[in-house]
A and B are shown apart, each in its own frame.
Chain A
Amino acid sequence: MVEVGVKIALSLTQIAVVMGVVLLTVMFLTLAERKVLGWMQDRMGPMEVGPYGVLQPVADGLKLFFKEDIVPAGANKFLFSMAPILALVPALIGFAVIPFGPDMTVEVFGVQFKPFVITDINVGILYILAFTSIGAYGIILGGWASNSKYSLLGGLRSAAQVISYELNVGLAIVGVLLLAGSLSLVKITEAQTGWFWNWFIFAPPFPQIFAFVVYIISAVAETNRLPFDLPEAESELVAGFFTEYSGMRFAFFFLAEYANMILVSCIAAALFLGGWNAPAPFLQFHGSLAHLLWLSGTIWFAVKVYFFLFLFFWLRATLPRLRYDQLMRFGWKVMLPIALGNILITSIAAYLFPRS
């Protein structure tokens, strides 16, 4: 009985910590995005709230919290309220299987406890793919329930885009899964220990660099970021699927977008760049400091994730928005064949030169 209690308490603490870190990162990202975009465009970004605008996320949050909550006339009220939750929950729930640090076990009050992964289920990556697909429902239902043509168009675009690019994400991952021989993110990360050429982006027998590029492009498209932000193309569709949303519901969509960004960055780091593994073994704490391995591991993981997040901002500052037919053609006629060819070659290579 005590054991179950301790287990539940530990899990809840872990979940609370991960949620807290993710939401804090989202807060930080909203500021970082505006700052980085500003710097890249010879502007300053937010400068008014606090020194150099560092308190801007707090001000934004407070503003959204106190805004009037409007439900447009003729909207389906139930779905209108459900949609933001449907968008946010799948984005946050995916973090349950991400390994943030080394796969170590700690014993707390006689309970075996893994501090750096909430749950290591053996179909981790499938679980994430399944839940990110549910996120598309939030977007399309939000667009439909708003009773507005812009929202509906944004929702439809988003649904078509998420479905077609999710296919590419799934197929790009298959190569890694073939090499790792597991669907669990913890096992995939552990298969990449050692030097950086063991990371699946460079890994013998067949480097997954093509899969990596396909995954990154598809991930940008799947999270509806520029240059693939057609669902919320502000020059065509006002704000796309959240045109009619205000206050906290808008904030939920916003959080979902940024949480999705962090999630796809975490997956990219774990699958292709070796997760918490350092580029070289001596860059981790080792030898007498081996008990601090978790510290350097989490730092390396954070570095990789932030590199991807920076890449998102960088792409946004650089590229203009695609046209819709270009987007679809690129997804189905370019990305999909590359991903399929990658699977074929990887499977042949993995059969001929099996990883020991």
Chain B
Amino acid sequence: MKFKNWIKTIIFYEILVGMKATLKHLLHYRPITLQYPHEKRSLPDSYRGMLSLLRYDDGTEKCVGCDLCEAACPSRVIKVISAEVPGEPTKRYAKEYYMDMTRCLFCGLCVDACPVDALGMTREYEWAVYDKRQLYLNKEQLLAIGDRAFPVREKRLELQHPNVAFFNVAFTHLPPKSS
């Protein structure tokens, strides 16, 4: 046993084993590298990327200006300035909507908090910019992100199903009751 160990020492046995391992990797060359800008990794289904504001299929904004997202956000990314829809006193909307994406930690709590599903998380992640002020997004930019990320839009809530609960709706859009 001692002799065996001595032989192993003088022929650098451990080093030879290591060199065999590296040579094996060289001969069975199977890189795990992804050439990132040229080829991209497939994202998991529940990937939480850039935030966006959504619209209904008729082009009106979903957001009702309730401020729940602002309350839910743990890092105070969101700033909502709510206002009445002009001419429709029962209906509110977000007059201004800002997101400071430099602080966002993509937890998705705002999306969970939204009662009308007006917020969505896209699968975009390439948002490196040269000036970090470009990451302070306003409502138009957020809506634009939503437009390009979610081409299939929902119908208005009141038109989705006869029994769906809805609020903040001016009743002129309702179909006339049959009874």
Residues of A within 8 A of B (CB): 36, 38-44, 47, 314-315, 317-319
Contact = CB atoms under 8 A, between A and B. Distances in A.
B25 A42 contact: yes
Interface in B41-98: none
B26 A315 contact: no
Contact of B22 (A43, A44, A47, A314): A314
B164 interface: no
Interface in B9-37: 15, 18-19, 21-23, 25-26, 29-33, 35
B35 A40 contact: no
Contacts, number: 36
B41 to A, nearest CB: 15
Contacts of B31: 38-39, 42-44
5 contacts: A39-B25, A39-B26, A47-B35, A314-B19, A318-B19
A217 to B, nearest CB: 9
Contacts of B18: 318-319
Contacts of B25: 39-42
- Secondary structure call for the B interface: helix
Contacts of B29: 39, 42
Nearest to B12: A213
- Secondary structure call for the A interface: helix
B126 to A, nearest CB: 18
Interface residues of B, number: 14
A41 B32 CA distance: 9
A47 B25 CA distance: 19
A44 B33 contact: yes
B19 A315 contact: yes
B35 A318 contact: no
Contacts of B35: 44, 47
Contacts of A41: 25
Contacts of B23: 40, 314
B165 to A, nearest CB: 55
Contacts of A42: 25, 29-33
Contacts of A39: 25-26, 29, 31
Given A42-B32, A43-B33, A44-B33, A319 B15 contact: yes
A318 B30 contact: no
User: Quick one: which of B15, B19, B32 has the most chain A CB within 10 A?
Assistant: B19
A40 B26 contact: yes
B139 to A, nearest CB: 39
Nearest to A311: B19
A318 B33 contact: no
Contacts of A318: 15, 18-19, 21-22
A39 B29 CA distance: 6
A259 to B, nearest CB: 25
Nearest to A213: B12
Contacts of B26: 36, 39-40
Nearest to A48: B35
B115 to A, nearest CB: 48
Which 8 pairs from chain A and chain B are nearest by CB? A40-B22, A318-B18, A318-B22, A317-B22, A44-B33, A44-B31, A40-B26, A318-B19
A315 B16 CA distance: 10
A42 B25 CA distance: 7
A239 B177 CA distance: 81
Contacts of B21: 318
B20 to A, nearest CB: 9
